[in-house]
Amino acid sequence: MTTPNPTPIDPRALGKVAVLLGGFSAEREVSLMSGQGVLAALRRSGVDAHAFDLAGHELSELKRAGFARAFIALHGRFGEDGTVQGALELMGIPYTGPGVLASSLSMDKLMSKRLWRAEGLPTPNWRQVRSAAQTEAALAALGAPMIVKPAREGSTIGLSKISHTSECAAAYALAARCDPEVLCEQYIAGDEVTVALLGQGEAVQALPLIRIVVPGGNYDYEHKYFSDETQYLVPSGLPAAEEAAIQQLAVQAYQSLDCRGWSRVDVMIDAATRRPYLLELNSSPGMTGHSLVPMAAQAVGLSYEALCLQLLASASLDNPLPAAAALTAAQSAAP
């Protein structure tokens, strides 16, 4: 596989760049780590990059400060769910990653699963629940073990794996504390892999699969970001034909949500049938020292710095305002 986008990028042509990090979500700690890594990488590449923590600044300051682009290193709600993307659209500041609708759909696991199922793409069976009693009914319908998780959170926050009716109330309460929309999902036992994707439309490129091996099979928040026990295998060790089929499935999932720029798709492979199932799409993946997109990029010869620069160069808008309309709007808004 060739290195994605080998075309040279002039850092000076990218203008003044805001690296959006921190924010208000439950994933703030990870976002700070991602953002600081991206910020340092862009500066090493010669980009005029500045940290911008939404928890300490009004987003409108971006326009007044003359930022030309935004690198979104926010994770979770109020950063990865279309809200920040919509604000940047209104300000006319191009940003990295998928647009407003794509970000919103991918953050909402219920909506993304419904769309994938409508497109004929495999995803585990599920039930939307609003009480402990409905969680018990979901366990009876989906079978044990079962995953209970918030519909609009990431990084396994609020997630439980349960096998008995006695566990339903606590699992539902934990998930509901994070989000009133709770998802019960069929558990798929087997290999867990993730696929990083770069680009847009027909030019989307799937990077090599990473197979995740965790002691005890519990890939939780600690094992994702802080543990040195988790193994990330790239090459994945899967048969070439199986890997290629999963890459194609991830591309279809990405395109069905109309994503652009970059994302990461998480997949479970049923141990008995070897059938892959789509779990979720992360529209603003982690960029920490334990993160998977930089690892996959490195496998095709794309360094962390080059990846950050490429992603920044791909920053765009869903609906760029024509120059004449922008001028008219600015004139009408003037005192």
Q: Does the structure show a pLDDT above 60 at 330?
A: no
4: cis peptide before it, omega within 30°?
Answer: no
Tally Cβ neighbours within 10 Å of residue 211: 18
What is the full DSSP assignment across 308-332?
HHHHHHT-B-SSPPPHHHHHHHHHH
Q: Does the structure show a pLDDT above 90 at 239?
A: yes
Domain 11-97+320-333 grouped into CATH 3.30.1330.10:
no
> What pTM, to 2 d.p., does this model score?
0.91
Looking at residue 218, its pLDDT comes to 57
What is the full DSSP assignment across 39-89?
HHHHHHTT-EEEEEETTTS-TTHHHHTT--EEEE---STTTSSSHHHHHHH
- 10 an active-site residue? no
- 275 an active-site residue? no
CA distance 85 to 123: 27
Domain 126-186 grouped into CATH 3.30.1490.20:
yes
Q: Residue 319, CB half-sphere, CA atoms under 13 Å: how many?
A: 10
Task: Give 15-33 pLDDT, tens digit per residue.
Answer: 999 999 999 988 899 999 9
Of all residues in the chain, what percent carry a pLDDT higher than 70?
90
- 95 an active-site residue? no
The residue that leads in pLDDT, 154 or 179, is 179
SS3 of residue 281 by DSSP: strand
Active-site entry in 5, 155, 263, 314: 155
- 108 an active-site residue? no
Tell me the domain boundaries of the chain: 11-97+320-333, 106-122+189-313, 126-186
Looking at residue 225, its pLDDT comes to 47
Task: Give 117-142 pLDDT, tens digit per residue.
Answer: 999 999 999 999 999 999 999 999 99
Q: Does the structure show a pLDDT above 80 at 322?
A: no
Closest Cα to residue 73, out of 254, 295, 294, 300? 294
Of all residues in the chain, what percent carry a pLDDT higher than 90?
83
| Mean pLDDT taken over the chain | 91
Active-site entry in 80, 243, 266, 305: 266
- 282 an active-site residue? yes
- 225 an active-site residue? yes
- Domain 106-122+189-313: give its CATH architecture: 2-Layer Sandwich (3.30)
Average pLDDT, stretch 316-323?
Answer: 80
Task: Give 34-61 pLDDT, tens digit per residue.
Answer: 999 999 999 999 999 999 999 989 999 9
Task: Give 85-114 pLDDT, tens digit per residue.
Answer: 999 999 999 999 999 999 999 999 999 999
Angle at 86 between CA 83 and CA 88, to 5 degrees: 110
- 222 an active-site residue? no
CA distance 258 to 253: 9
What does the chain come to in residues? 335
